[in-house]
Structure formats: C-alpha cells, structure tokens
C-alpha cells in the first residue's frame, strides 16, 4: 500500500474519505508514520482522537519524524501561496530525513512514512492545470522524490475526484488503484490500463461505497469488487458552529 504507492479515485460522496480514514488508522496501527497534506481540512477534525501533530511549515517535518510522540502529522495550507510548491517542500523534507538511513545492496527499507495527498489534483496537478509555470517544476520534483523514496520506505496515498487533473507522472507510479464511482472519461480511460475495459466501464454504475481494487495492496491478482463498510458512526462529523 505504501512503498508501491496507492491512489483512491472517485466522485464526492462515493466513500473516499471514510476509506482513507480507515487506511490511515491501519497504517498508524502498523507503526507507520502518516503525513497528511490536506486542503480539505477535514482530516484534522475527523482524526482528532489520534492526537495529530499540526505542521505549519515544512521545516517542522524532520523534528516531527525524529521526536514527536504522534505518528500522525497534518498540514492544512493556511498560508500557502503555491500548493504544488508547499507539497514539494514537505515531501522533500521527509525524503531528506529518511534518506539518512544506510541502505544494503538489493534491499529496500520497509514502509516507514506514507504521505497522503488529499485533493491531489491541486497539489500535484497535470502540466496543463498548473496556475503558474514554476509549479510544473515543483510537481516534477515531487514525482522524482516519490520514485526515489520507495527504497527508503517512503510512499504515497493519492486521493482525488479529478483523475484527469492529476499528474500522470505520479499516478503511473501507483501500483495499487482503488476506484470508486467515477464519471470522468479521462479517468476511466486511465483506469482501463490497470483493470481492463470491462471493470473500468462498470465504475460509473457502482453504488455508493462500492469500489474496485487492483494492485500490490490487494491479496488477489485480479481486480476485486468490494464494499466499504458503513463507517458513518465510526468518525464523528464536525459539530455545527
């Protein structure tokens, strides 16, 4: 799930967030650190019981990884002027910390850190979706870091409802794809490369909370249609002001 990178794709309301919360809790239970880059600002609210560390800047990543009592950290982009630039800075700091570990020939380090890109179409956009040209460089740097990070135990969880707008340089590194209901034709064409046209064509008709998983995070070599349990009572929604 982590070292080979995973993508969760689906429209709003399809169950992406609850599935992500479940996966994050499972990673933490396995003593894997999780760094959430969260434009929605919902992870901090829903995962309060896990005592997440708030990171206001990339310079806090390495101290958190070295010393924090919490294996969960969240950044909410309160002061960011460029989402791709900020995302690149956080990923780079995490990589710099993990790459201090001495490698043995032919042996990769097990999963140590998962970076969650929530609303990833804004954090790692496709080249024709960037706001300013310099963002292309930031996205490319993030992609290279994720590719290099695998051997040091660094991986990513990509979450989006706009597959067409996420850089394929990173999506193509995702060995595991979890597809929920989606109507984006570009996204369906992309998914057909992973699971075949029969499965990808079924995605637009999937009921809410049903999904298809394929890749190394699945115990099956073939695509599997599965149902996400009703997690509605597991995480309390934000209270109304």
DSSP string, 199-234: HHHHGGGPPTTEEEEESTTSSSSS-EEEE----TTT
Task: Read off the pLDDT of each residue in 65-78 and give the average, rounded to a whole number.
Answer: 92
Per-residue pLDDT at 229 exceeds 80: yes
Task: Read off the pLDDT of each residue in 195-206 and give the average, rounded to a whole number.
Answer: 82
Angle at 189 between CA 125 and CA 18, to 5 degrees: 65
State if pTM tops 0.85: yes
What is the strand order of the sheet 6-9 is part of? 53-54, 72-75, 33-38, 113-118, 154-160, 6-9, 176-179, 210-214, 224-227
**CA-CA distance, 112 to 109, in Å (whole number)?**
8
Best CA proximity match to 86, nearest among 78, 72, 198, 16? 78
Q: Are 84 and 139 in contact (CB under 8 A)?
A: yes
Per-residue pLDDT at 240 exceeds 80: no
Q: What percent of the chain has pLDDT over 70?
A: 98
Q: Are 111 and 157 in contact (CB under 8 A)?
A: no
Per-residue pLDDT at 241 exceeds 90: no
């Amino acid at each position: 799930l982590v070292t080979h990178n995973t993508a969760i794709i689906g429209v709003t309301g399809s169950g992406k967030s609850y599935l992500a919360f479940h996966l994050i809790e499972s990673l933490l239970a396995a003593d894997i650190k999780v760094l959430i880059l969260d434009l929605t600002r919902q992870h901090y609210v829903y995962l309060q019981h896990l005592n997440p560390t708030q990171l206001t800047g990339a310079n806090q990543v390495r101290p958190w990884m070295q010393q924090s009592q919490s294996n969960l950290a969240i950044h909410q982009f309160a002061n960011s002027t460029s989402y791709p630039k900020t995302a690149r800075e956080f990923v780079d700091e995490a990589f710099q910390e993990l790459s201090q570990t001495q490698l043995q020939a032919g042996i990769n380090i097990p999963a140590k850190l998962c970076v969650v890109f929530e609303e990833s179409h804004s954090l790692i956009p496709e080249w024709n979706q960037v706001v300013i040209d310099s963002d292309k460089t930031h996205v490319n740097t993030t992609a290279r870091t994720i590719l290099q990070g695998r051997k040091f135990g660094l991986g990513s969880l990509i979450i989006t409802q706009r597959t067409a707008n996420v850089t394929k340089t990173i999506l193509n590194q995702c060995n595991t794809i979890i597809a929920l209901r989606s109507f984006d034709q570009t996204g369906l064409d992309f998914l057909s490369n992973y699971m075949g046209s029969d499965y990808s064509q079924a995605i637009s008709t999937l009921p809410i909370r049903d999904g298809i998983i394929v890749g190394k995070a699945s115990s099956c070599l073939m695509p599997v249609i599965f149902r996400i349990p009703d997690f509605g009572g597991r995480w309390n929604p934000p209270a109304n002001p």
